[in-house]
């Protein structure tokens, strides 16, 4: 039966497409892109099939598959999906498909580019459905490492001026360059991975050293001191990918240097792996560690929200603005996680999806503008709406979602997170969270005005034109997702809430395990 | 005749405008055709008007309240619902919105006829979206849905103020309106969250110990939406939008949403006397402050905009004093006469291609329908006895007097005098004054620009005589009674009109103009505006710059320093690999010794 292997097929689809591209060097241009699109589209169909086949009334882990890998250490390719996974698979499918569509104009070594992109996304799918910590980590690294080449080879240069008390460092490192950005991103994320690895083996040994399976590691009652230090390692390790302050600084440079599809995928999905890891591994497997550290995790998260938003306000490069806004919005995810409430957790997972779609749309649009204007420098722009009304409309749409306008996905997520924050032990967290959303309104709409409104575009921009063909498809798909998720959240919220109701009691003793069910 | 239940009518009122907006947004050839798009939107507005009229008729005849909800969000404490709530309060507001929106859409056919087709289609798309948003606010069964509609009308306001987005001033005004209201809306959002945490829901009927906190937070949002001092600054700028938009959003309906929120949440506000006190003072001050500024404005739309701030101040003061009937009735009458004034002003502007009242002059003869309906609106606004505004303003003043709030009452009375005076000024200069050269070729607009004026003039003139049935709709009783407060207000109103006649028709008492000089200076200085702009530039912007600098040159530099140090350390450590076997043996021995020492110090 197809459904027996649905998860492995979904994970494999982009990988198979990558192998096809690798083995057929003659595939070039549109043909290569079509193969990539088929791989991405197949995985999206797989994600949709998972969404349809997941039985809500039953809940729990479903569509399980298990293939032993290293029986001596209890490592197996154990795939299964829970309610969170359903939502995150959908996100991944939408982002990779639209990412390939939005990058149709790429003309430099596109075959190699697509191979790396597809391998990366196979890793992302794998993380969301792994039920074995070792395999989880393996997929995690597969998702992170191709980024180095993708940015280093296909990236663009940013402009960062020398300055500050530690300016002498500038002379040694070519700050702002694409090699620099790629190297920085990779090194910072690898430092995180090292921390994860240590915590992972510590947990494996503490739990008897017989199995890496989630079911074994999750139920084990680790000694308190192990929980305390291992949680910190996991928070740092996964958090650095999730953009947690102060380990977020790879993100603006990395996103700015990355080509369009990579930015879309990286901000749209990859950063979510980090936040997901903190919740799924850190909090759920180490509940005492979580209980001890959440006040700090939450405080750092609200700092993220406000810090990212204020930093975004001062940026003048279009990509840096969106990158810092991602830092701010990922703070909302971590804030929701730290509340340890049902609303907060639902909001956190919802924000992963909402922000993924929104930032995917943003980076897609910025890529379109950059491709036509050959500039990302906002102060030189203006009146672009004359030449690209569609792009302008979608930019405002994405902006409205990011500032939390009801009717769009971002509102549902932020509202749930703030509700959760006020119910948590640290009600004040909600206030900087809400202020962050206001600051977002300030900078996002201001950028919209500076770039798109006003008199016709300056004469230097003579190649401006609206989106075309496949680009339209990407914009419309993401825009429709934002609206659907904003208007009828239960498309995925039912699934998310189902998993939350199962998982929260593992972390918070006595948390209600029931979930409100739609009639 | 269609046999529909009230709920079905309400759903028609809600979904048909939304359908229109979605169709116009998605089917771009239709939108870009212009005229047909307006047709679609107008059909929706007409269906909406019919539905609202049927519903109001039903409730005037004592229909039972209807509440229908469906789950929307899965909350940790149960399902969070949206839906429709039909009672006297929502049904009457629904009709007010329907009438004004319909009139505005008809009026815009003529007013914006010269616009490019694509822009015309876009305009009607936003108009339909606004109608849906406002209806979802009005029909809300709980405060969460009210908030959703509240934010959506804010979006429509942003889109419609920025309709002429190529004009930098319009793009700026749209942004300012959105920012200021969004700033205030943080209060509503937080208030809802606090309410939910305390009561497990978003009901306005809830009883809670946190009522003062919740209502104060709500009131912050009301100050933003309903343009109360010192958050009124966006409303005058919002006049950058097309005049019919000002009539609909920035006079009659959207800005009144703040007042509507307080009316809806009256049971909550009743639990918070402190909030009431704050509201009375801020409302009364705004009423007086904005009226004084209106006196010195020369742009007819700015006069009306400040007048709107001022009148909203009356409503807020009334609600703060517990005079819910007065506040809500004034909202209703004001919606009609202020929309009428704005549309008529639009007709005058259309005729002379200028907003300056000095460029008008003697237009009554050239535009009799527009001119006379403007005068009807002006008299209603001035509280001229018998006109609708007279009755509603009287209720407000009686309510404030009843609470013994003498200082606010005095402010409101002076405000009433100024209101009559500034409206008299506009009428005597623009309509009855000496013709200016701009007005030489002025002529009346087409039928689409006259019909809405005539329709709106009826309630502006006569709604006061139906105060009894309207009050009944809301579960209140109304008996006409003219006490000393009402007599004083009427006398002051007449005095205001008289003084403006002396000054602007007869050219007398010019010395008094000097008395208004300080107000003029204050208005021109834009002191409040400047304060906010300073907060934005010296506060938020500078903070943003500082944080971005820290992020780049301290936080990130530290990360880079770590990278740099590990490079440097790697360089040094390379020296350890000497390739000399003896060095390695020494190292092994040293290591063993250290391990031995460790074992000796910590046995076991």
Please give the radius of gyration of chain A, using alpha carbons only, rounded to the nearest integer. Answer: 22
Res. A511: pLDDT tops 80 = no
Any A CB within 8 A of B548 CB? yes
Res. A518: pLDDT tops 90 = no
Residues B323-343 have pLDDT tens digits of 999 999 999 999 999 999 999
User: Looking at the domain assignment, is residue A116 inside a domain?
Assistant: yes
Q: Which of B155, B552, B554 sits opposite A405 (nearest CB)?
A: B155
**Interface with B, mutate which of A399, A415, A424, A488 (most B CBs under 10 A):** A415
CA distance A44 to chain B (A): 25
Contacts 24+ apart (CB under 8 A), B468-471: B469/B60, B470/B92, B470/B329, B470/B332, B471/B325, B471/B329
CA dihedral B314, B318, B319, B323 (to 10 degrees): -150
Query: In chain A, whose CA is at the least distance from the CA of B26?
Result: A476
Res. A159: pLDDT tops 70 = no
The Cα A73–Cα A212 span in angstroms is 7
Cis-peptide into A170, omega within 30 deg: no
The Cα A324–Cα A271 span in angstroms is 13
User: Looking at the domain assignment, is residue A258 inside a domain?
Assistant: yes
Q: Residues 323..362 of B with a Cβ closer than 8 Å to A: which? A: none
**Beta strand A75-81 with A62-70: parallel, antiparallel or unpaired?**
antiparallel
* Sign of the CA dihedral with B331 first, then B333, B339, and B345 last: negative
Of B137, B101, B100, whose CA–CA distance to A407 is shortest?
A: B137
Q: Are B102 and B51 in contact (CB under 8 A)?
A: no
CA distance B202 to chain A (A): 12
Q: Residues near B378 by Cβ (< 8 Å), separated by ≥ 6?
A: B341, B423, B424, B426, B427
Interface contacts A/B by beta carbons within 8 Å: 173
Q: In angstroms, what CA-CA distances link A518 with A56, A119, B11, B91?
A: 11, 38, 22, 29
The Cα B96–Cα B78 span in angstroms is 35
The Cα B341–Cα A447 span in angstroms is 36
The Cα A111–Cα A107 span in angstroms is 10
CB contact under 8 A, B175 and A164: no
CA distance B268 to chain A (A): 20
Any A CB within 8 A of B569 CB? no
CB contact under 8 A, B71 and A412: no
CB contact under 8 A, A515 and B74: yes
Q: In angstroms, what CA-CA distances link B426 with A9, B250, B419, B504, B505?
A: 75, 19, 11, 9, 11
Tokens at residue A79, please?
A: 């795939």
Any A CB within 8 A of B565 CB? no
Q: Are B445 and B110 in contact (CB under 8 A)?
A: yes
CA dihedral B574, B579, B581, B582 (to 10 degrees): -60
Query: In chain A, whose CA is at the least distance from the CA of B152?
Result: A406
Residue A160 confidence (pLDDT): 66
Q: Are B246 and B287 in contact (CB under 8 A)?
A: no
Any A CB within 8 A of B561 CB? yes
Cβ neighbours of A442 in B, within 8 Å: 179, 540
The Cα B392–Cα B53 span in angstroms is 22
Q: Are B464 and B351 in contact (CB under 8 A)?
A: no
Residue B235 confidence (pLDDT): 92
Of B47, B46, B42, whose CA–CA distance to B121 is shortest?
A: B42
A349, burial (CB in 10 Å: exposed 0-12, middle 13-18, buried 19+): buried
The Cα B488–Cα B393 span in angstroms is 12
The Cα A388–Cα B530 span in angstroms is 35
User: Looking at the domain assignment, is residue A446 inside a domain?
Assistant: yes
User: Looking at the domain assignment, is residue A279 inside a domain?
Assistant: yes
The Cα A445–Cα A218 span in angstroms is 44
CB contact under 8 A, A407 and B147: no
Q: Are B370 and B107 in contact (CB under 8 A)?
A: no
Q: Are A302 and A335 in contact (CB under 8 A)?
A: yes
Tokens at residue B443, please?
A: 């002529």
CB contact under 8 A, A454 and B171: yes
The Cα B159–Cα B176 span in angstroms is 12
User: Residue A73: how many CB atoms within 10 A of its CB?
Assistant: 13
CB contact under 8 A, A519 and B558: no
The Cα B237–Cα B258 span in angstroms is 19
Q: Which of B189, B549, B556 sits opposite A249 (nearest CB)?
A: B556
Q: Which of B76, B193, B547 sits opposite A311 (nearest CB)?
A: B547
Give the phi and the psi of residue A415 in degrees, each rounded to 5: -60, -45
Q: In angstroms, what CA-CA distances link B147 with A74, A449, B136, B218, B412?
A: 53, 26, 10, 10, 30
Of A293, A313, A310, A279, whose CA–CA distance to A417 is shortest?
A: A279
CA dihedral A325, A331, A336, A337 (to 10 degrees): 140
Give the phi and the psi of residue A99 in degrees, each rounded to 5: -60, -45
Res. A324: pLDDT tops 80 = yes
CA distance B71 to chain A (A): 7
DSSP string for B90-112: HHHHHHHHHHHHHHHHHHHHHHT
Cβ neighbours of B553 in A, within 8 Å: 163-167
Cβ neighbours of A443 in B, within 8 Å: 544
User: Looking at the domain assignment, is residue A355 inside a domain?
Assistant: yes
Any A CB within 8 A of B533 CB? no
Tokens at residue B546, please?
A: 């500082």
Q: In angstroms, what CA-CA distances link B116 with A144, B121, B145, B164?
A: 50, 9, 36, 11
Mean pLDDT of A261-283: 93
User: Residue A288: how many CB atoms within 10 A of its CB?
Assistant: 17
CA dihedral A311, A315, A318, A321 (to 10 degrees): 0
Q: Are A234 and A195 in contact (CB under 8 A)?
A: yes
Of A286, A278, A165, whose CA–CA distance to A220 is shortest?
A: A286
Q: Which of A315, A341, A383 sits opposite B548 (nearest CB)?
A: A315
CA distance A250 to chain B (A): 8
CB contact under 8 A, A423 and B79: no
The Cα A368–Cα B603 span in angstroms is 67
Q: Which of A166, A423, A456 sits opposite B197 (nearest CB)?
A: A423
Residue B241 sits at the vertex; the CA angle it makes with B93 and B163, to the nearest 5 degrees, is 105
User: Looking at the domain assignment, is residue A184 inside a domain?
Assistant: yes
User: Looking at the domain assignment, is residue A232 inside a domain?
Assistant: yes
With residues binned 3-state (H G I as helix, E B as strand, rest as coil), the percentages for chain A, rounded to 5, are 75, 5, 20
Containing domain of residue A192, as a range? 3-161+172-512
Q: Are B310 and B290 in contact (CB under 8 A)?
A: yes
Any A CB within 8 A of B406 CB? no
Q: What is the DSSP letter of B270?
A: T
How confident is chain B (604 residues) per 10-residue block, as mean pLDDT? 84 95 92 90 96 94 90 89 94 95 94 90 94 96 95 94 90 92 95 93 91 95 93 92 92 93 94 94 94 90 94 95 93 95 93 87 86 94 92 92 91 94 92 81 85 93 90 88 88 92 82 76 79 86 90 85 80 75 81 83 64
Mean pLDDT, rounded, of chain A: 91
Length of chain A: 519
Residue A81 bridge partners (DSSP): A62
User: Looking at the domain assignment, is residue A519 inside a domain?
Assistant: no
User: Residue B565: how many CB atoms within 10 A of its CB?
Assistant: 11
Q: Are A234 and A278 in contact (CB under 8 A)?
A: yes
* Number of structural domains in chain A: 1
CB contact under 8 A, A313 and B166: no
Residue A260 confidence (pLDDT): 87
Q: Are B334 and B363 in contact (CB under 8 A)?
A: no
CB contact under 8 A, A175 and B545: no
Give the model's confidence band at A516: pLDDT under 50 very low, under 70 low, under 90 confident, else very high.
low
Q: Residues 139..158 of B with a Cβ closer than 8 Å to A: which? A: 147-148, 151-152, 155, 158
Q: In angstroms, what CA-CA distances link B348 with A61, A443, B307?
A: 69, 38, 18
User: Residue B466: how many CB atoms within 10 A of its CB?
Assistant: 15
Q: Residues 167..196 of B with a Cβ closer than 8 Å to A: which? A: 168, 171-172, 175, 178-179, 182-183, 186, 189-190, 193-194, 196
Residue B84 bridge partners (DSSP): B68
The Cα B268–Cα B258 span in angstroms is 15
Tokens at residue A120, please?
A: 């990366």
């Amino acid at each position: 039966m197809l459904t027996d292997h649905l998860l492995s097929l979904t994970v494999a689809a982009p990988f198979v497409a990558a192998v096809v591209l690798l083995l057929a060097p003659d595939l070039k241009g549109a043909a290569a892109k079509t193969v990539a699109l088929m791989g991405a589209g197949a995985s999206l169909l797989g994600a949709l099939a998972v969404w349809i086949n997941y039985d809500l009334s039953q809940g729990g882990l479903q569509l399980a598959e298990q293939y032993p890998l290293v029986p001596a250490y209890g490592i197996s390719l154990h795939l299964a999906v829970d309610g969170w996974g359903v939502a995150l698979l959908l996100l991944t499918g939408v982002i990779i498909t639209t990412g390939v569509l939005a990058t149709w104009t790429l003309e430099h070594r596109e075959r190699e580019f697509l191979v790396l992109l597809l391998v990366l996304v196979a890793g992302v799918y794998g993380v969301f459905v792994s039920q074995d910590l070792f395999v989880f980590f393996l997929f995690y690294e597969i998702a992170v490492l191709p980024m180095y080449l993708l940015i280093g080879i296909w990236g663009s240069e940013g402009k960062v001026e020398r300055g500050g008390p530690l300016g002498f460092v500038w002379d040694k490192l070519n700050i702002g360059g694409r090699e620099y950005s790629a190297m920085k991103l990779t090194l910072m994320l690898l430092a995180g991975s090292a921390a994860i690895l240590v915590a992972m083996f510590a947990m494996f040994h503490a739990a008897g050293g017989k199995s890496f399976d989630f079911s074994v590691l999750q139920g084990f009652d680790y000694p308190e001191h192990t929980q305390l230090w291992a949680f910190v390692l996991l928070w740092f390790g996964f958090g650095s990918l999730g953009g947690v302050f102060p380990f977020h600084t790879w993100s603006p440079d990395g996103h700015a240097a990355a080509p369009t599809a990579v930015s879309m995928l990286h901000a749209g999905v990859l950063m979510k792996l980090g936040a997901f890891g903190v919740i799924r591994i850190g909090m759920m497997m180490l509940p005492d560690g979580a209980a001890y550290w959440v006040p700090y995790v939450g405080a750092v998260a609200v700092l993220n929200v406000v810090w990212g938003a204020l930093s975004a306000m001062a940026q003048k490069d279009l990509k840096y603005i969106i990158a810092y806004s991602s830092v701010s919005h990922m703070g909302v995810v971590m804030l929701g996680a730290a509340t340890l409430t049902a609303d907060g957790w639902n909001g956190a997972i919802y924000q992963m999806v909402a922000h993924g779609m929104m930032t995917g749309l943003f980076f897609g649009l910025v890529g379109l503008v950059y491709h036509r204007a050959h500039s990302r420098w906002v102060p030189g722009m203006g009146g672009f709406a004359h030449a690209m009304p569609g792009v302008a409309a979608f930019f405002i749409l994405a902006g409205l979602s990011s500032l939390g306008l009801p009717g769009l996905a971002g509102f549902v997520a932020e509202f749930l997170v703030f509700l959760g924050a006020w119910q948590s032990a640290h009600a004040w967290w909600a206030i900087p969270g809400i202020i962050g959303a206001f600051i977002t309104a300030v900078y996002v709409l201001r950028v919209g005005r500076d770039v798109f409104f006003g008199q016709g575009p300056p004469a230097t921009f003579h190649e401006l034109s609206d989106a075309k063909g496949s680009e339209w498809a990407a914009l419309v798909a993401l825009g429709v997702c934002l609206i659907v998720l904003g208007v009828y959240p239960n498309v995925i919220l039912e699934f998310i809430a189902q998993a939350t109701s199962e998982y929260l009691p593992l972390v918070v003793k006595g948390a209600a395990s029931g979930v409100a069910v739609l009639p | 005749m269609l046999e529909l239940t009230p709920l079905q009518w309400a759903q028609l009122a809600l979904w048909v405008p939304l359908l229109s907006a979605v169709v116009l947004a998605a089917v771009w050839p239709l939108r870009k055709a212009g005229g047909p798009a307006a047709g679609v939107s107008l059909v929706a507005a007409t269906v909406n008007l019919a539905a609202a009229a049927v519903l109001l008729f039903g409730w005037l005849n004592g229909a039972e309240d209807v509440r229908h909800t469906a789950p929307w969000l899965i909350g940790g404490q149960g399902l969070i619902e949206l839906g429709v709530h039909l009672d006297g309060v929502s049904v009457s507001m629904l009709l007010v919105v329907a009438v004004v929106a319909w009139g505005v859409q008809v009026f815009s056919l003529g007013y914006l006829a010269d616009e490019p087709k694509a822009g015309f289609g876009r305009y009607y798309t936003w108009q339909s979206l606004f109608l849906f948003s406002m209806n979802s606010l009005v029909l809300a069964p709980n405060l969460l849905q009210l908030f959703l509609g509240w934010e959506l009308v804010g979006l429509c306001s942003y889109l419609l103020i920025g309709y002429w987005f190529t004009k930098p001033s319009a793009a700026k005004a749209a942004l300012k309106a959105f920012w200021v209201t969004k700033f205030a809306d943080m209060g509503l959002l937080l208030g809802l969250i606090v309410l939910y945490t305390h009561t497990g829901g978003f009901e306005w009927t809830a009883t809670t110990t946190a009522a003062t906190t919740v209502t104060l937070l709500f009131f912050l949002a009301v100050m933003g939406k309903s343009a109360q001092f010192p958050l009124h600054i966006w409303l005058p700028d919002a006049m950058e939008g097309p005049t019919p938009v000002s009539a609909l959003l920035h006079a009659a309906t959207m800005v009144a949403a703040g007042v509507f929120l307080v009316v809806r949440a009256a049971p909550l506000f009743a639990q918070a006397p402190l909030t009431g006190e704050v509201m009375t003072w801020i409302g009364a001050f705004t009423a007086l402050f904005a009226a004084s500024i209106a006196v010195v404005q020369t742009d007819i739309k700015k006069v009306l905009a400040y007048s709107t701030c001022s009148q909203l101040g009356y409503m807020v003061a009334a609600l703060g004093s517990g005079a819910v009937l007065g506040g809500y009735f004034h909202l209703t009458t004001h919606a009609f006469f202020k929309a009428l004034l704005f549309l008529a002003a639009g007709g005058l502007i259309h005729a002379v291609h200028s907003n300056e009242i000095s460029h008008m002059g003697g237009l009554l003869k050239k535009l009799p329908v527009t001119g006379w309906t403007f005068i009807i609106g002006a008299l209603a606004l001035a509280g001229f006895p018998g006109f609708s505004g007279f009755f509603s303003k009287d209720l407000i003043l009686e309510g404030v007097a009843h609470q013994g709030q003498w200082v606010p009452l005095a402010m409101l009375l002076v405000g009433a005098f100024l209101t009559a005076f500034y409206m008299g000024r506009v009428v005597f200069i623009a309509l009855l004054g000496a013709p200016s050269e701009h007005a030489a070729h002025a002529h009346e607009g087409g039928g689409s620009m006259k019909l809405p004026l005539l329709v709106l003039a009826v309630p502006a003139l006569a709604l006061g005589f139906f105060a009894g049935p309207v009050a009944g709709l809301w579960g209140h009783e109304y008996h006409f009674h003219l006490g000393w407060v009402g007599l004083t207000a009427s006398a002051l109103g007449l005095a205001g009109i008289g003084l403006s006649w002396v000054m602007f028709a007869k050219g007398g008492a010019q010395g008094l103009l000097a008395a208004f000089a300080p107000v003029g200076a204050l208005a021109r200085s834009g002191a409040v505006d400047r304060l906010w702009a300073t907060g934005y530039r010296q506060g938020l912007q500078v903070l943003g710059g500082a944080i971005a600098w820290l992020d780049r040159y301290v936080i990130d530099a530290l990360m880079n320093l770590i990278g740099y140090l590990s490079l440097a350390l790697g360089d040094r450590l390379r020296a350890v690999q000497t390739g000399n076997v003896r060095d390695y043996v020494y190292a092994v021995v040293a290591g063993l010794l250290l391990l031995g020492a460790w074992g000796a110090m910590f046995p076991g």
